[in-house]
Structure 1
Amino acid sequence: MIRTAEAYRDALRDGREVWIDNERVADVTTHPAFKPIIDVKARMYEMAREPAYQDALTYQEDGVRHSTFQRPPRETAHWTDKTTALDMVFNDIGGVVTRVGDETVGEMWSLLDGRDVLAEIDPRFAENIDRHIQAVVEHDVFHVSANTDPKGDRSLPPQEQDPDMMVHVVRETDAGIIIRGAKYETAAAYADQAFLKPTVGAWSNEKLSDYAVGCIVKMGAPGVKHICRTGFAGKGSVADYPLAHRFDEVDVLMVLDDVLIPWEDVFFYRHTRAAQHVRATLHRYSAFPYVLRIQYMADMMIGAAMWNARQTGLDKLQAVREKLADLVCYREGINAHLTSAIALAQRSPAGLLMPHQSMLYAGRVFACSNLPQMMHIARELCGGQICVTPSAAAFQADGTKDWLAKFYSLNDQWQAEDRRKLLAFARDLLNSDYAGHRLTFVQFAQAPHFNHLAAVYNAFDFSGPLDFVRKAASLSDRITGAS
């Protein structure tokens, strides 16, 4: 069933241990660092129940409504439905959020594709993934993804340093496994559960088997501690930082202090082949909504830059139009990769419809690697006033408001307050602490750049180019594409 907003908020009041700065948070739903982004997720639940959005944000199966975002994709329409639903959500909330569940549930579908690998260890583990995917659909949980460990000294295996630098199994019990370690996880403090999986690695060494673990961690379970970075919400004013105050997705060091994982929540452990398979296929679905969000960031850059150019008439200059065209090419390049990935979608081992893999992964590289340059182009188009404009309070103060009204008003259409709002939006999008944080987040949230490129290499079919050149160069038939 589709969850209510209040049911979501109530689920967060489970006694979870959340720390931010020097404070233990009593209620994340009311704390100023978390409330804005929790309200965004709650709004998504509300939208799914409203007549204007319900048909797009939900689907019916056996007379029961479920979230469009949680639906395992089996046909092209399921992907286009997700895209339409996300467009409605982002237009309603007026911004972009990454970690709200739809972009992480795909990692569970990737695990479904490796069901045979899981069954090698224990058939019950394969059954666990079936049950959890269905539970996410039926209960509409906020599901996130626990990925990166602190790692410590990466030149050393974990056993030769503090073993807790990577999450590992410390013992088995009749009730389940006990795990220790820590994971960096965005949104963990206000989510229901996380899919915890091994960090990036070769996973070819059996000595690492204690660290080859994949499971579900409930965010309010005993021993789970959420140590959060300082939030952007609550710093400065909403008028000056409209994005940071509404859309800051708080990142967490999730400490696992002897946490019991019931057997029904274990997908694999002590199995390096399973760990290797999970890491290799992890983003075959989730990369799509992740890259789609960057397209919306491109839309915001285009909109902010175009409005700034138009307000002063600079959009008529050819040099300005060329820079705007660069932003458009970036945006449409992302769109082209995503559109073709669905148009050429491939059937997965589990029978799901996954985006065309090399096209999707190439699109992720294109979107992530070009984002810094595109942000700089947008800064140039917005101009230096995004870093020197006084605060909103100065536009209201008796001693300064008349002067600011004089120098920031252009004509009857562009008065000082609208210019201030546009400049504040552009600053928060491109030039603030929040903007810098978002840029770094995009570069590493799914994996570092080298891993993005490895995914492209592994997904691309080299046989076509190899065969074409073999024939064009009249190479011997005994030369094959095998390596």
Structure 2
Amino acid sequence: MIRTGDEYRESIRDGRQVWVDGEKVDDVTRHPMFKPIVDVRARIHDLAHEEATRERMTYRDEETGELNAIANRLPRTREDWQDKRTAVELVQRAAGGVATRVGDETIGEMWSLYDGQDVLNEVDPRFSENIRRHLAKAITADPFHVSANTDPKGDRSKAPKDQDPDMLLHVVRETDNGIVVRGAKYETAAAYANQAFTKPTIANWGNDTMSDYAVGFVLDMGAPGLKFVCRNGFAGRAPASDYPLSNRVDEVESLVIFDDVEIPWEDVLFYQHTRAASFIRATLHRYSAFPFVQRTLHLADLMIGSALWNVKQTGLERQPAVQEKLAQLACYRETVNAHLTAAIAMAEPSPGGLLMPNQSLLYTGRVVALSQLPTMMHTARELCGGQICITPDSATFADPEVAPWLEKYYTVNENWVAEDRRRLLAFARDLLNSDYAGHRLTFQLFAQSPPFAQLGAVYRAFDFDGPLDLVKAAADLSDKVDGSR
């Protein structure tokens, strides 16, 4: 059944051990650094119940008649992907910013496992059964599902056996009930999620001695032995009137420590199977890249809106130089949009019988979206102007002695009074120029793998045979020329 926001909040009051800012947190739903993003996730649940938004957030299962979240539905048609895209857009607008780790972008990694059931069956048929059961649970129980990938890693010039083995999550022993794991993972939203697909991060799985590290499972975030050590959040550092995004949609990352955590056999998705680990690493973003790139599209709209309002308030929108920069932002936005649209239009069957976005178009779209993002952010800064870094805070605007002067110098005309201009400059600053903005830009290197890996995905997905055949015919090369790779 679709949960309510309050039911979600109650589900994460399970005694989990969370630390942030030098203190142990009693209740993440009430702590000032977690509460804003917990409220965003709760709002997603509530959107599925409200009459005005229910149809865009849910679908009715044909067999059970129950309402389920569109985000968790297995994608089988292009319409399914259009529905998911519509739901994500609604969520982003309701959040009032860009909220990345809220579930819809991480459940896709489980769909990649669904596609790999034949590989999982090679080692143990139970694992294939486990993935089907967990996917069914994700659809019907409506959990907040996230993803754990990156380990601390330690000294990367050394093998795990040549240093502290806990630098990479690994199995330390088996029990009658399951496996016991030790190590740590970095994970966004872990401290306030229900469960996570926990998986290995090593890229080269050619060595069978790595099998204790070749493990993947669904993790209950309330499991005994888990500890969440979080980075300091941006929420609460300064008033929301000055930093609206920092206080609204900051998503807190955690170092999740596994202190001999037992994983029941029914939650193990693969174990001691380096080929399965290699398969998962190669196909991990087959689906999840789509909603992630869609977030970049939403960010582009926020940048365009912030920049355009800033030039309109001062009457500069008709200047050719300004229009040129706005056009650059528009080209970036529409390029990302075109890749997403085409990836659905040219979607292709997956090995497991699902429908996945066209892989070449999706991965090239991701590279374009993320490689150009720093330049586009700076273009938006240029259009907003230097005042986003020098404007006083809201408390100063409210000071009786200073307020008349700020009212005088920040009022542009009868349509743009000082308070509206201050609000716009504050929003643009938080979007483009604040600590939060810098964090979000760096976050791109963590959330969907580094640039070299993204280009590697493009290389594997692109069909090189077409250009090879084209040049072979045009150059009249002999049949002895072999284009195989």
TM range (shorter): over 0.9
Identity fraction in percent: 63
User: What residue in structure 1 maps to residue 37 of structure 2?
Assistant: 37
Q: Which of 136, 145, 148 does residue 146 from structure 1 map onto?
A: 148
Separation (CA, whole Å) in 2 of partners of 1:261 and 1:444: 26
User: What residue in structure 2 maps to residue 441 of structure 1?
Assistant: 443
Pairing of 1:286-301 with structure 2 (within 5 A): 286-301=288-303
Pairing of 1:325-404 with structure 2 (within 5 A): 325-404=327-406
Query: What's the CA shift string for 1:255-282, capped at 9, x where partnerless?
Result: 0110000000001111110010000000
Separation (CA, whole Å) in 2 of partners of 1:196 and 1:235: 31
Separation (CA, whole Å) in 1 of partners of 2:56 and 2:402: 48
Q: Which of 229, 232, 236 does residue 230 from structure 1 map onto?
A: 232
Separation (CA, whole Å) in 2 of partners of 1:200 and 1:412: 60
Separation (CA, whole Å) in 2 of partners of 1:390 and 1:53: 38
CA shift for structure 1 position 33: 0.4
Query: What's the CA shift string for 1:271-295, capped at 9, x where partnerless?
Result: 1100100000000000000000000
CA shift for structure 1 position 205: 1.1
User: What residue in structure 1 maps to residue 8 of structure 2?
Assistant: 8
Query: What's the CA shift string for 1:291-349, capped at 9, x where partnerless?
Result: 00000000000000000010001111100100010000000000000000000000001
Separation (CA, whole Å) in 1 of partners of 2:342 and 2:202: 28
Separation (CA, whole Å) in 2 of partners of 1:476 and 1:154: 46
Separation (CA, whole Å) in 2 of partners of 1:93 and 1:454: 33
Counterpart of 1:420 in 2: which secondary structure? helix
Separation (CA, whole Å) in 2 of partners of 1:39 and 1:431: 25
Contact 2:170-2:183 at 8 Å conserved across structures: yes
CA shift for structure 1 position 88: 1.8
CA shift for structure 1 position 443: 2.7
Unaligned runs of 5+ in 1: none
User: What residue in structure 1 maps to residue 157 of structure 2?
Assistant: 155
Pairing of 1:201-212 with structure 2 (within 5 A): 201-212=203-214
Separation (CA, whole Å) in 2 of partners of 1:92 and 1:11: 22
Which amino acid is the alignment partner of residue 71 of structure 2?
F
Separation (CA, whole Å) in 2 of partners of 1:204 and 1:459: 22
Contact 2:95-2:248 at 8 Å conserved across structures: no
Pairing of 1:311-326 with structure 2 (within 5 A): 311-326=313-328
TM-score relative to the length of structure 1: 0.99
Which amino acid is the alignment partner of residue 6 of structure 2?
E
CA shift for structure 1 position 200: 4.1
Q: Which of 213, 217, 220 does residue 218 from structure 1 map onto?
A: 220
Counterpart of 2:285 in 1: which secondary structure? coil
Which amino acid is the alignment partner of residue 407 of structure 2?
A
Aligned residues: CA RMSD: 0.7
Contact 2:96-2:248 at 8 Å conserved across structures: no
Contact 1:369-1:443 at 8 Å conserved across structures: no
Q: Does 1:412 align with 2:414?
A: yes
Q: Does 1:239 align with 2:241?
A: yes
Separation (CA, whole Å) in 2 of partners of 1:200 and 1:95: 33
User: What residue in structure 1 maps to residue 188 of structure 2?
Assistant: 186
Q: Does 1:54 align with 2:54?
A: yes
Counterpart of 2:53 in 1: which secondary structure? helix
Separation (CA, whole Å) in 2 of partners of 1:29 and 1:55: 28
Which amino acid is the alignment partner of residue 3 of structure 2?
R
CA shift for structure 1 position 481: 1.5
User: What residue in structure 2 maps to residue 121 of structure 1?
Assistant: 123
Contact 1:226-1:253 at 8 Å conserved across structures: yes
CA shift for structure 1 position 91: 1.9
Unaligned runs of 5+ in 2: none
Which amino acid is the alignment partner of residue 38 of structure 2?
I
TM-score relative to the length of structure 2: 0.99
CA shift for structure 1 position 22: 1.1
Separation (CA, whole Å) in 1 of partners of 2:308 and 2:478: 56
The alignment of Structure 1 onto Structure 2 pairs a total of residues equal to 483
Q: Does 1:81 align with 2:88?
A: no
Q: Does 1:471 align with 2:473?
A: yes
Separation (CA, whole Å) in 1 of partners of 2:132 and 2:94: 33
Pairing of 1:163-182 with structure 2 (within 5 A): 163-182=165-184
Separation (CA, whole Å) in 2 of partners of 1:202 and 1:446: 18
Query: What's the CA shift string for 1:386-411, capped at 9, x where partnerless?
Result: 00000000000011111100000010
